[in-house]
Structure 1
Amino acid sequence: MPILPPRWRLPYVALLTVIALLLSVSALQHYDGTRPWEPFLWEFSSVAVIGTLALGVHALVGRLQGLAWPRQLFAHALGLPAFSVLHIAGMCGLRLAVYTLAGSGYDPDDVGTLLVFEGGKDAVSYISFCLISRGVWMARAAAARAQELERARRDLAEVRLARLADQVQPHFLFNTLNLISSVMYEDVPRADRLLCQLADLLRQTLAAQQRVEHTVREELALVEPFLALMQARFGPQRLVVQIAADEAARECRLPALLLLAPVENAVKHDVARHLGRVTVVVAATREGDRLRLRVSNHGDAPVPESPPDPDGGLGLRNLRERLDARYGDAARVAFGPDDGGMTLTVELPCAC
């Protein structure tokens, strides 16, 4: 990491210039010589050298981080006199060069006077720079730790999402194979068609899993053939499918295979349990920057024994965990009875 990031170089030079100008104007007010540019030369030369040395002090403080305090104090005991000597030498060298170019003589104070007069101010400057640099390095370290923590959190969330997504296909596959097995001895050609449709659907779900997330349009492209497969299994007189999604909602992105398990649960837990016709509705609407998804099922006949799992089973638990890992509190899930059936409602941010 550079001592002074590029974006801070111009502001740093501007700050030094402003300080030098203010000091020069103050010195000019007390100047009684015949060359009014001299106060500007004195202050600008001093500020320029100190500004450069301050970067060296900042680098030194950074290198000393993590060392024992005695070693740091020893380094600063050597750094302070070096700072003062370099300041005096650099400042006098710049002044001598300008005076020579101007054709004027330069008669600085003797070395002892310079060391005493400038040394006290240099000690205050050096200690101030050390304290400021210490705070800057600590802030940088804290920011780096925060970035590393955020990176680790994102990596963990991605691993968690991948693990949760991996649960979708086996869950869906096992239940679908169970449904197909119930007709394979009654109607072999029909079972064969169902298996071919299932193979095509599995190829699509494998491709979807590799992308982690996709659009609602692509998600519905998986849900629709699944429901068509289930209609072939139960018959259109038992299962009625309604899919409604506005164009704005279709462009929103969501975790891949998010709806497949809830839709599969609606078929398994309701169509298979009802004696009459069941209507499964999958709807998607966009409201501002929010995406609203709804999966509901309603049967014409009363619900027979054993009501469905109020928590929605594994599929809904998986959905809740995936949304929590991906969106946190920005996503909401509601599941419960609705007009003789069950409705799952999901709200999450719409990212296109």
Structure 2
Amino acid sequence: MTTARQQRSLVWAYAASVLAVGLLQSLAELQHYLERGGEHPWEPFLWELSSVLMTGLLGPLIYRWHLLGLALPGRLRLSVHHLVGAAGYTLAHVAGMFGLRFAVYALAGLAYRPGSAAEILAYETGKDLVSYAIIVAICHGIYVMVEMRRREQELLQLRAELAEAQLTRLTEQIQPHFLFNTLNLISSVMYEDVARADRILCDLAALLRQALSAQDSGRHTLAQELSLVEPYLNIMQARFGERLSVQIEASEEARRCLLPALLLIAPVENAITHDVAQSSGPVRVSVGAEVLAGELLLTVKNSGIAARRDHRDGAIGMANTRARLLSLYGERAQLALQADAAGGSCLSLRLPAELQ
């Protein structure tokens, strides 16, 4: 969309271009005029500027006339349309141009005898037909440029709407997937320890309330994201007891950075369900966040088994995380999963650091 300020800038640029062309032609004609012994140096400026001024005034009308012609079906009708336009341009250009000249000569008290109307039309028609063709060609080029710009904007809007729809679908997938796994965990605890199951249900209720709010916002700060991760980790610690220890380390600058809502839930969930559940010994899960060189670096580390973890890249949670980052940031975001020498693994996410 062109704003009013942009429109004014275009009008001034167009007027300046018309004036520049008129002055250049006037200066060229002035040399010939002086060589022929002309006595009034302003005359070449009047002749050329009057012609260019009328052309400049008629230019926008020709553009609109050309747009009307493009809406007509068939090339024959377009040709007839422009023949009528060429005739109208010639009559308007000649009438306006010579009307200005006669007026200025009258004010100067000089006689102006350009010839009869038939002679003027015969002389000017050929030049005006060429000028009209050139103006139409320029108008068509402008039309093509405007249409390309409009289509590019429509394409960008469609892509944005598609990305938003994809993100909505992906986020909706995360919620039932997480809820399904958490309810399974609660069901496995409730017959062993009712009080512990009750605490887990309370944490789950708080977590879901915050998750629904986060989902509506789309993006929030890392501090808000960690307020979602912590209740989940409380639930997992209630489930696994001493087998699981957790640690969260995030700098103050990192906590102010914006990121997609529910981004860390899937990686943390995978670290626990695929490592703690499969490990007989104690497992440590740590979440880290810091800002480095304009990027927000998020890490989810665990000390559990790391054998054959490549299958997790295809899991619902990890696949959605990767797809969300791609939709939001493109190549500016990175996700990597690596095994360490001690048998654990580290999931790292890099995305642009955007402070709230």
Same structural fold, with TM-score higher than 0.5 when normalized by the shorter chain: yes
Larger displacement relative to structure 2 (200-209 or 306-315)? 306-315
Partner residue in 2 for 1:38: 43
Write the mapping of 1:22-171 to structure 2, written as runs, cut at 5 A: 22-31=24-33, 32-67=37-72, 68-171=74-177
Deviations 1:167-195 (A, max 9, x none): 11111111111111111112112211110
Task: Confirm whether residue 180 of structure 1 aligns to residue 200 of structure 2.
Answer: no
Letter in 1 for 2:344: G
Deviations 1:287-336 (A, max 9, x none): 2222211111103xxx49x8555334221111111112222222221113
Letter in 1 for 2:167: L
Partner residue in 1 for 2:271: 266
Task: Confirm whether residue 249 of structure 1 aligns to residue 254 of structure 2.
Answer: yes
Q: Distance in 1 between matches of 2:76 and 2:257?
A: 60
Q: Distance in 1 between matches of 2:198 and 2:247?
A: 26
Deviations 1:194-215 (A, max 9, x none): 1011101100000000011112
Task: Confirm whether residue 310 of structure 1 aligns to residue 350 of structure 2.
Answer: no
Write the mapping of 1:330-345 to structure 2, written as runs, cut at 5 A: 330-338=332-340, 339-345=342-348
Partner residue in 2 for 1:206: 212
Partner residue in 2 for 1:17: 19
Structure 2's unaligned 5+ residue stretches are none
Contact kept in structure 1, 2:69 and 2:82, CA below 8 Å: no
Letter in 1 for 2:147: A
Q: Distance in 1 between matches of 2:311 and 2:344?
A: 12
Letter in 2 for 1:311: R
Q: SS of the residue aligned with 1:241?
A: strand
Contact kept in structure 1, 2:47 and 2:101, CA below 8 Å: yes
Q: Distance in 1 between matches of 2:70 and 2:255?
A: 53
Deviations 1:213-240 (A, max 9, x none): 11222111211221122222222x2211
Q: Distance in 2 between matches of 1:318 and 1:131?
A: 51
Letter in 2 for 1:340: G
Q: Distance in 1 between matches of 2:39 and 2:155?
A: 62
Q: Distance in 1 between matches of 2:229 and 2:115?
A: 88
Letter in 1 for 2:312: D
Task: Confirm whether residue 349 of structure 1 aligns to residue 352 of structure 2.
Answer: yes
Contact kept in structure 1, 2:290 and 2:298, CA below 8 Å: yes
Letter in 1 for 2:17: L
Structure 1's unaligned 5+ residue stretches are none
Q: Distance in 1 between matches of 2:88 and 2:252?
A: 71
TM-score normalised to structure 1 length: 0.93
Quote the offset at 1:103 in angstroms: 3.3
Contact kept in structure 2, 1:311 and 1:335, CA below 8 Å: no
Q: Compared with structure 1, are the counterparts of its residues 199 and 59 closer, same or farther at alpha carbon in structure 2 (3 Å cutoff)?
A: same
Q: Distance in 1 between matches of 2:97 and 2:48?
A: 9
Larger displacement relative to structure 2 (337-346 or 307-316)? 307-316
Write the mapping of 1:208-247 to structure 2, written as runs, cut at 5 A: 208-235=214-241, 237-247=242-252
Q: SS of the residue aligned with 1:336?
A: strand
Partner residue in 2 for 1:277: 282
Q: Distance in 2 between matches of 1:296 and 1:97?
A: 87
Q: Distance in 1 between matches of 2:308 and 2:124?
A: 88
Q: Distance in 1 between matches of 2:41 and 2:288?
A: 81
Deviations 1:236-282 (A, max 9, x none): x2211111122222222211101111101111111122222111011
Q: Distance in 1 between matches of 2:266 and 2:107?
A: 83
Partner residue in 1 for 2:326: 324
Q: SS of the residue aligned with 2:110?
A: coil
Q: Distance in 2 between matches of 1:351 and 1:98?
A: 64
Q: Distance in 2 between matches of 1:101 and 1:224?
A: 88
Quote the offset at 1:84 in angstroms: 0.8
Quote the offset at 1:122 in angstroms: 0.6
Figure out how many residues of one structure are paired with residues of the other and give that number.
Answer: 346
Contact kept in structure 1, 2:163 and 2:327, CA below 8 Å: yes
Q: SS of the residue aligned with 1:346?
A: strand
Letter in 1 for 2:261: A
Contact kept in structure 2, 1:310 and 1:336, CA below 8 Å: no
Q: SS of the residue aligned with 2:303?
A: strand
Q: Distance in 2 between matches of 1:83 and 1:278?
A: 85
Larger displacement relative to structure 2 (153-162 or 177-186)? 177-186
Q: Distance in 1 between matches of 2:71 and 2:294?
A: 47
Contact kept in structure 1, 2:246 and 2:285, CA below 8 Å: yes
Q: SS of the residue aligned with 1:30?
A: helix
